[in-house]
Chains A and B, each alone.
Chain A
């Protein structure tokens, strides 16, 4: 078991890669009552084309398989894993993103038993025609519910503009139509390919004793047989890596009171190295703060002109193989909002010049936000992105952030902001 100490935060993380390839990381947080555990696979909604485990030919699976699989993992022949956690006084849950599926629990007692339940239910697939059919109904409802959510439609609509021919344009849960094509065989094929221990990681944070906990994990894994590891062979490629396929504008009418608008910016840079990718992400985060945060003159001007309001927000998403930023607000001036955001992005260099005196404050503020996350076991575990950032955890991120200089911002602005990557999506009330 390796250990890395972060003196400045009085924290130590323990790491071990087990014989079966599973990466285990343990972060004790003295004084905390709960233990939070995530068991994650590097498999998400965009991974819909691949060569299945120990096969030769490629397959394309229906949209929504990763999420469907996540739902179905809990159900077994004679019980539901969810109830096992319940009997042990723990809360459990799971979620699926574009590129990752995570199973988790949080408990203040029976840590070992809960840990066994987590490892066992995720490593024991059970899919039948009957259970698949029932789940199609439940997930169908879930998808429909999101149809009424204007903010979700805005976000998904924008991603559809940015990646019009790529799998991320589809809701992570798939569509009512696509999930109707899912079968137990498809689930099993995906499971065998992506749920190998060597494609997964286990992260425990909070109230725990590292030596004892690591032993429990090893004991559990030693009691099982796993097939020979094989690196998953994904075939999903961007339709147009240069982003010339971006749809510049679309809008949707909905039953809402105030118009919503979102501007998106798709980046095209690709990364070989996880740390390089993280450094880029942190620099872009700071760049966006410089351009748009509430200490900027841009923000005050647009706020005072009621081009944006307190609902204004922006975010940068870095995923495996793609990244984009988005800027959104409720506003009665949708066109002006989009024009202003684009104009600011396109004059990024000048904006950075003007922000030289603010940069230290902005970076300090970002550091303060990340340090705040150190008080949250959930944030630490959920933020961990494994291979994407070459195993960097929140403490590594804070250290890396400290190294970012204003010169890095000029560099990433040049790489990130390209005219073909810009797009706008609106959700407009019926009566307009």
Chain B
């Protein structure tokens, strides 16, 4: 059920008796720039740490414990070219808690979003310093995961120097030095006053009551320019290649392709099925031929980013096999272009995607995530997904496969 609370502030309520928990998602959206991701991530960290009424994280945590251990947290994400700050709340429903927990949680959300620990136009100094340090540490620690690191390096190769797509949604350490307890205040105001706001609620709730509860949050109307998530880039003449040496036991070979298939465009389901056949499912060519038959990789998967026009492959291999693996991956793609896959393989992938889609209705976060995209991008309700997946033909898969253009390869090797 959809409600418009103010201009640019929407509420979607999804009542269901399926779950024992209630879920709230409040999503703030704005175009990502080369500089706003780090600031908005730090802001999200500050907001979830303390408020005027709960000035330390302990005070806030104690309040949450009282609310049956409600989870209220903030984070960042992206939808293609758009940057999002998200507040998520998960808590026992009123029927089980036997009290008006929902109202109490919304009261706390109000505190977090509208009464941050800002005085005289600056965030609390010690809190700012610690959160900035923590963000720095947590970003650095992410890169200790070599698979993650290799993927980031591939993205750097794939996206041009001046593209905001190069900057991860969680930001970068080098931006932190420029952020202060003062200059984060306008970042906060900008978000709370000008971002597109989507509130989504899932659980055993009465929509009209929920509307009345959220109408009390002091969101003002705002005019939001049309939001364009879809990212396109032109082709490089030559494949961008890089090899790096570190002391790792297992090497990582990652490949990046341009694939102009976008969320819910006419090729979307063909793209999903193609990706399932290529490396996106355990029934895929990469899994069966590279990992299992040739024993050349511990993992070999592909992933379609349907807002970025990008398909990436990640593998964990022995460094000396890199050339062989790249050739074998190329061969798998060539086979898909040539239609060298059985009806059986195709229908297994389709069944697997349909199973995943149906099963996704058992996860509150998936339901909310899908609904967020629908409402944020103003897409028609997606019906008959199973039929659409089943309607994809071998020829559709071949057509999509033929559109892939290898653009970047990155090898992280333990060998010199």
Interchain CB contact under 8 A, A31 and B246: no
Min CB distance, B47 to chain A, in Å?
14
Interchain CB contact under 8 A, A300 and B250: no
Task: Name the contact of B358 in the complex, choosing from A33, A299, A306, A368 (C-beta under 8 A).
Answer: A33
A59 to B126 alpha-carbon distance, docked (Å) = 61
A206 to B247 alpha-carbon distance, docked (Å) = 46
The answer, yes or no, to whether A54 is at the interface (CB within 8 Å) is: no
The answer, yes or no, to whether A346 is at the interface (CB within 8 Å) is: no
Interchain CB contact under 8 A, A34 and B362: yes
Identify the closest chain A residue to B350 (Cβ). Answer: A89
Q: Answer whether A142 and B298 are a contact pair too, CB < 8 Å, given A257-B144, A365-B69, A375-B19.
A: yes
Most A CB contacts (10 A, CB to CB) among B65, B68, B283, B364 go to: B65
Q: Answer whether A300 and B144 are a contact pair too, CB < 8 Å, given A32-B362, A311-B137, A375-B364.
A: no
Interface 9-mer from B55-63, B112-120, B227-235, B304-312:
B55-63
Task: Name the contact of A369 in the complex, choosing from B69, B140, B141, B355 (C-beta under 8 A).
Answer: B69
Task: Name the contact of B282 in the complex, choosing from A32, A86, A145, A375 (C-beta under 8 A).
Answer: A86
Interface 9-mer from A101-109, A237-245, A416-424:
A101-109
The answer, yes or no, to whether A3 is at the interface (CB within 8 Å) is: no
The answer, yes or no, to whether A371 is at the interface (CB within 8 Å) is: yes
Name the B residues within 8 Å of A297 (CB-CB).
Answer: 58
A293 to B355 alpha-carbon distance, docked (Å) = 38
Name the A residues within 8 Å of B58 (CB-CB).
Answer: 294-297, 299-300
Interchain CB contact under 8 A, B138 and A309: yes
Interchain CB contact under 8 A, A256 and B134: no
A247 to B69 alpha-carbon distance, docked (Å) = 37
Name the B residues within 8 Å of A258 (CB-CB).
Answer: 137, 140-141, 144
Name the B residues within 8 Å of A90 (CB-CB).
Answer: 355
Q: Answer whether A367 and B69 are a contact pair too, CB < 8 Å, given A33-B358, A296-B58.
A: yes
A56 to B170 alpha-carbon distance, docked (Å) = 61
Interchain CB contact under 8 A, B68 and A365: yes
Instruction: Bits for A338-379, please: 1 = Cβ < 8 Å to B, else 0.
Output: 000000000000000000001001101111110110110100
Name the A residues within 8 Å of B64 (CB-CB).
Answer: 365
Instruction: Bits for B351-367, please: 1 = Cβ < 8 Å to A, else 0.
Output: 11011101101101000
Interchain CB contact under 8 A, A255 and B246: yes
Interchain CB contact under 8 A, A371 and B96: yes
Q: Answer whether A364 and B68 are a contact pair too, CB < 8 Å, given A296-B58, A304-B130.
A: yes
A140 to B225 alpha-carbon distance, docked (Å) = 54
Interchain CB contact under 8 A, B282 and A255: no
Interchain CB contact under 8 A, A141 and B61: no
Identify the closest chain A residue to B98 (Cβ). Answer: A8
A132 to B356 alpha-carbon distance, docked (Å) = 32
The answer, yes or no, to whether A137 is at the interface (CB within 8 Å) is: yes
Interchain CB contact under 8 A, A371 and B249: no
For window 277-332 of chain A, which residues contact chain B by CB distance below 8 Å? 293-297, 299-300, 303-304, 306, 309-311, 330
Interchain CB contact under 8 A, A147 and B246: no
A194 to B21 alpha-carbon distance, docked (Å) = 39
Interchain CB contact under 8 A, A148 and B250: yes
Identify the closest chain B residue to A91 (Cβ). Answer: B355
For window 349-389 of chain B, which residues contact chain A by CB distance below 8 Å? 351-352, 354-356, 358-359, 361-362, 364
The answer, yes or no, to whether A150 is at the interface (CB within 8 Å) is: yes
Min CB distance, A26 to chain B, in Å?
17
The answer, yes or no, to whether A130 is at the interface (CB within 8 Å) is: no
For window 363-397 of chain A, which residues contact chain B by CB distance below 8 Å? 364-369, 371-372, 374-375, 377
Name the A residues within 8 Å of B246 (CB-CB).
Answer: 255
Interchain CB contact under 8 A, B362 and A33: yes
The answer, yes or no, to whether A144 is at the interface (CB within 8 Å) is: yes
Name the A residues within 8 Å of B138 (CB-CB).
Answer: 309-311
A386 to B312 alpha-carbon distance, docked (Å) = 42
The answer, yes or no, to whether B143 is at the interface (CB within 8 Å) is: yes
A249 to B16 alpha-carbon distance, docked (Å) = 52
Interchain CB contact under 8 A, A364 and B66: yes
For window 242-283 of chain A, which residues contact chain B by CB distance below 8 Å? 255-258
The answer, yes or no, to whether B18 is at the interface (CB within 8 Å) is: yes
Interchain CB contact under 8 A, A206 and B144: no
Min CB distance, B403 to chain A, in Å?
26
The answer, yes or no, to whether B17 is at the interface (CB within 8 Å) is: yes
The answer, yes or no, to whether B146 is at the interface (CB within 8 Å) is: yes
The answer, yes or no, to whether A77 is at the interface (CB within 8 Å) is: no
Task: Name the contact of A89 in the complex, choosing from B69, B70, B352 (C-beta under 8 A).
Answer: B352
Beyond A137-B295, A138-B295, A358-B65, 18 extra complex contacts between A and B, CB < 8 Å: A86-B348, A86-B351, A87-B351, A91-B352, A91-B356, A141-B316, A145-B250, A145-B298, A148-B250, A257-B140, A294-B57, A309-B134, A361-B65, A364-B65, A365-B65, A365-B68, A368-B67, A372-B20
A residues adjacent to B (C-beta < 8 A): 8-9, 30-34, 82-83, 86-91, 106-109, 134, 137-138, 141-142, 144-145, 147-150, 206, 255-258, 293-297, 299-300, 303-304, 306, 309-311, 330, 358, 361-362, 364-369, 371-372, 374-375, 377, 430
User: Could you jot down 16 A-B contacts, CB within 8 Å?
Assistant: A30-B18, A33-B358, A33-B359, A87-B351, A89-B355, A91-B352, A106-B355, A109-B355, A142-B298, A145-B249, A147-B249, A300-B56, A303-B130, A372-B21, A372-B92, A375-B19
